[in-house]
Amino acid sequence: MKIRVGMGFDVHRFAIGRELWLGGIRIAHPIGLLGHSDADVLIHAICDALLGAANARDIGFHFPDSDKKYEGIDSKILLSKTMQIVRDKNFEVSNIDCTICAEHPKLQGYIPEITGKLAEIIGVSEDDISVKATTTEKLGFIGRNEGIATYAVALLYQTGKE
């Protein structure tokens, strides 16, 4: 059986007047993230990890910010489309591991809902999705509450001949 690993990373700065979306869930916070889409930094990192593992380029290649049809798009749609690309290459998800780096808001209470939403979109068990949150101990742009960064790793297995 062929297995492939991919790593994703994304970062967005905070912006007044925007909603905060992480992992397909709206987070109660007075400011959101700036981006061409809904700026769901977690889903974007997951998409890059999945696409990398499938050797299918990256999120910017498939959903460029220069294309008006992706302006303001719900990132759950991007994740669903990414899964179709992965499955078209005869891969399925074994597991995904993610880390959200943010000083604020505190995310522990949201993690079960985020995990459930991601598992639903991807079509796997919640046990196959790990979401963690950490701070940077007030260091750097994250520590100054200027934005959020996320890391994701995806393990895929091949379901048939490519």
63 labelled binding-site residue: yes
CA 30/CA 53 separation, integer angstroms: 35
46 labelled binding-site residue: no
99 labelled binding-site residue: no
pLDDT tens for the chain, 162 residues long, are 899 999 999 999 999 999 999 999 999 999 999 999 999 999 999 999 999 999 999 999 999 999 999 999 999 999 999 999 999 999 999 999 999 999 999 999 999 999 999 999 999 999 999 999 999 999 999 999 999 999 999 999 999 765
59 labelled binding-site residue: yes
67 labelled binding-site residue: yes
pLDDT for 1? 83
Torsion from C-alpha of 78, 156, 52, 105, nearest 10 degrees: 60
80 labelled binding-site residue: no
142 labelled binding-site residue: no
66 labelled binding-site residue: yes
Alpha helices, DSSP H, located in 65-155: 75-88, 111-122, 140-143
pLDDT for 162? 55
105 labelled binding-site residue: no
pLDDT for 29? 96
CA 49/CA 59 separation, integer angstroms: 9
135 labelled binding-site residue: yes
44 labelled binding-site residue: yes
CA 111/CA 66 separation, integer angstroms: 32
**Which strands sit side by side in the sheet containing 129-134, from one edge to the other?**
32-33, 3-15, 147-158, 91-101, 129-134
64 labelled binding-site residue: yes
CA 52/CA 148 separation, integer angstroms: 21
Terminal Cα distance for the chain, rounded:
12
93 labelled binding-site residue: no
Question: What is 3-158's CATH topology?
Answer: 60s Ribosomal Protein L30; Chain: A; (3.30.1330)
Residues contacting 139, CB < 8 A, separation 6+: none
144 labelled binding-site residue: yes
Tell me if 15 sits within 8 A of 46, measured CB to CB: no
Give the up-direction half-sphere exposure of residue 68: CA atoms within 13 A in the CB hemisphere: 0
Domain boundaries, the chain: 3-158
137 labelled binding-site residue: yes
41 labelled binding-site residue: no
